[in-house]
Structure 1
């Protein structure tokens, strides 16, 4: 285990710095948008540009990596991240920020892909869970640390934007100077949404809803914190509480879903998400502590639902279909992240900050209701027919299988088939 961690130490340091910059950027950008007097709808449209770039990168980056290799593409992507945030400071204009945010989304998705492909080649089945736990903790610490940099500066000045660019640039150094060998070239990722729907309608619909949930909160959570009267430090604490809830709950939820029908867990997560969202709507404006407690519970189901969908899709895939099915899950998730902020932002504009959490409650309710309906249509998988659940950070498709943070094919024998659920 120690040898495995030593072999990825440079990569983990690059990941920590990249996630610190990302946490700073994703909190700083909406705060500056509000300071410019832009409406919530405008902020949500800018956020949608980010998710469009993110989704596009999941298709384009594998082509680039096959042509020039992981290290060169990683260097180019981190450079694009740096450029995007620095240009955002130089040219504060809505249409320009649409392009800059799309560029940032493209760069961060590709960086995730490369990091997770790299990790895949440095782990074995025996230490995979432990190594990826370290990776998830690294991502969490970096994101939270970046958010807490915002109160140290003024979003209206260039200082925080420049600091973010510096952190992104520093993320290049550990990987560029590492003597560890690069991962092997990745295989082409394939996507087939029709096949995914035939195999698992609930994974198809659930992936769209999971993208809408995380995309809406990830894009507008900072706006929500400002709208209910929090300062920058309070908002950072709220965002950190939601992330922490998701990180701590993923593995318990996943282990339970390995032992019982995953759709029961989906129903429970959806209903719990409704209750937590309504609690945030009722008590979120009472103070930082109340909002963070509610946010922690919202996060505990908001992020794990993607991994539940990915695991269920893997359970239902026939041998030879794993790549196309898991690729479809990722693309649908991306579609959800594009549409969610637009609807959530419009509701915030019309109803105030409570519109955001009511929208989250509605999506959770649809998620639970659809899972319950599907349970009446098909039987569930037996425990010995399931793939193993793996916690998820950000869903990015890797090499010849779903990303390392989703359920993985540990051998070449495929996944047992079954009736669609």
Structure 2
């Protein structure tokens, strides 16, 4: 086990630095957007640039990797991350930022693909849980740490943007200088959405809603903290609470869903999300502790439902269908992350900061309601009877290569 951890040490250091930059970028960009006086809907349009670039990268990056290899593509993608955030400091115009955020989304998605592909080359059935637990903790610590760098600078000038660019550049060094063997080429995703819908309608619809939920919160959560009157440190704490909730709940929710009809777990997750969102709408920045607790509970259900969708679809799929099904879920999730911020931003424009929470509550309600409707339409014992094991999948917007490779390992 120790040898396995040592073999990924440089990769984890690159991941940690990348996630510090990611956490800083995803907080400083919306804060600066608010400071520029841009409307919430305009900020949500900028966010769709990021999610569009992210989704596009999941399709295109594997082709680059097959041509020139993981290390070179990883270096290029990290360069794109630095370029994207530094251009935001150079040209402060929302139309330009739409393009710059697309560059950042493309870079971060491709980097995730390569990191997770590399990890899957180093894991076995015996150490898989440990290795990916280290990976998830690294992502969580880095993202939270990056958010807490914002109070140390002034988002109204270029200092934090430059710092973010420097951190991204540093993230390239450990992997570029590593002597570890590069992994095998990333497999091209195969999409068959009609098959996915026939096997698991709830996974089909749930993947869209899961993408809308996580994409909207990650894009507009920082805007929400500013609009309710939180300072940067308080806002960073709220975002950290949501991430922490997602980190601690994946395994318990997964294990419970392994022992019963997963759709009942989906309903409970939806109800918890609705209640937590409604509670947050009743309080402002003066009730910080309440907001932190409610945010934590939102996180406990917002992130795990993606993995629930994957598990439910795999329960009904044959082993040779796992990769195709998981790839379809990945695509639908990406579409959700593009559309969600637009609708959520429009609701914030009309209803103020609480509009974000009402949108999240609506999405949770649709998720729970559709799961309940599917229970009435299809009995639990229809389709495959033997369940696959739940696998915790890291988010946000990270389900790509891990999802596909996890499906492959389950088939094996």
Shorter-chain TM band? over 0.9
Distance 2:64 2:386 in 1: 36
Q: Which residue of 2 aligns with 1:358?
A: 358
Instruction: Answer yes or no: is 1:314 the counterpart of 2:290.
Output: no
Q: Which residue of 1 aligns with 2:237?
A: 237
Distance 2:91 2:267 in 1: 45
Q: Which residue of 2 aligns with 1:260?
A: 260
Shift of 1:284: 4.3
Q: Which residue of 2 aligns with 1:127?
A: 127
Instruction: Tell me if the contact between 2:41 and 2:342 (Cα under 8 Å) persists in the aligned partners.
Output: yes
SS at match of 1:124: coil
Q: TM-score, normalised by structure 2?
A: 0.97
Q: Which residue of 2 aligns with 1:386?
A: 387
Aligned-residue RMSD, C-alpha: 1.4
Distance 2:162 2:83 in 1: 10
CA deviations 1:306-361 (Å, max 9, x no partner) are: 11001111111123221211101000001111111101111111111111101111
Aligned residues: 409
Q: Which residue of 1 aligns with 2:102?
A: 102
Shift of 1:408: 3.2
Distance 1:373 1:6, change over 3 A: same
Q: Which residue of 2 aligns with 1:280?
A: 280
Distance 2:132 2:317 in 1: 24
Shift of 1:157: 0.8
Instruction: Tell me if the contact between 1:315 and 1:381 (Cα under 8 Å) persists in the aligned partners.
Output: no
Q: Which residue of 2 aligns with 1:47?
A: 47
SS at match of 1:244: helix
CA deviations 1:370-398 (Å, max 9, x no partner) are: 00110112222599711111212233422
Unaligned 5+ segments in structure 2 are: none
CA deviations 1:275-322 (Å, max 9, x no partner) are: 111111112443322211110011110111111001111111123221
Shift of 1:115: 0.4
Distance 1:322 1:19 in 2: 29
Q: Which residue of 1 aligns with 2:38?
A: 38
Instruction: Tell me if the contact between 1:284 and 1:290 (Cα under 8 Å) persists in the aligned partners.
Output: no
Q: Which residue of 1 aligns with 2:269?
A: 269
Instruction: Tell me if the contact between 2:200 and 2:312 (Cα under 8 Å) persists in the aligned partners.
Output: yes
Q: Which residue of 2 aligns with 1:144?
A: 144
Distance 1:342 1:381 in 2: 38
Instruction: Answer yes or no: is 1:246 the counterpart of 2:276.
Output: no
Shift of 1:105: 0.4
Shift of 1:188: 1.7
SS at match of 2:146: helix
Distance 2:253 2:142 in 1: 24
Shift of 1:254: 0.6
Q: Which residue of 1 aligns with 2:403?
A: 402
Instruction: Tell me if the contact between 1:213 and 1:363 (Cα under 8 Å) persists in the aligned partners.
Output: yes
Q: Which residue of 2 aligns with 1:335?
A: 335
Distance 1:387 1:381 in 2: 14
Distance 2:42 2:78 in 1: 26
SS at match of 1:408: helix
SS at match of 1:76: helix
Q: Which residue of 2 aligns with 1:416?
A: none
Distance 2:400 2:158 in 1: 35
CA deviations 1:11-61 (Å, max 9, x no partner) are: 000000000000000000001111111000000000011000000011001
Instruction: Answer yes or no: is 1:17 the counterpart of 2:17.
Output: yes
Q: TM-score, normalised by structure 1?
A: 0.95
CA deviations 1:197-243 (Å, max 9, x no partner) are: 11110000000000010011000000000111000000000000000
Distance 1:330 1:305 in 2: 13
Which range moves more in the overlay, 39-48 or 317-326?
A: 317-326
Distance 1:308 1:59 in 2: 23
Instruction: Tell me if the contact between 1:109 and 1:396 (Cα under 8 Å) persists in the aligned partners.
Output: no
Aligned residue runs from structure 1 range 158-169, under 5 A: 158-169=158-169
Instruction: Tell me if the contact between 2:393 and 2:403 (Cα under 8 Å) persists in the aligned partners.
Output: no
Shift of 1:94: 1.1
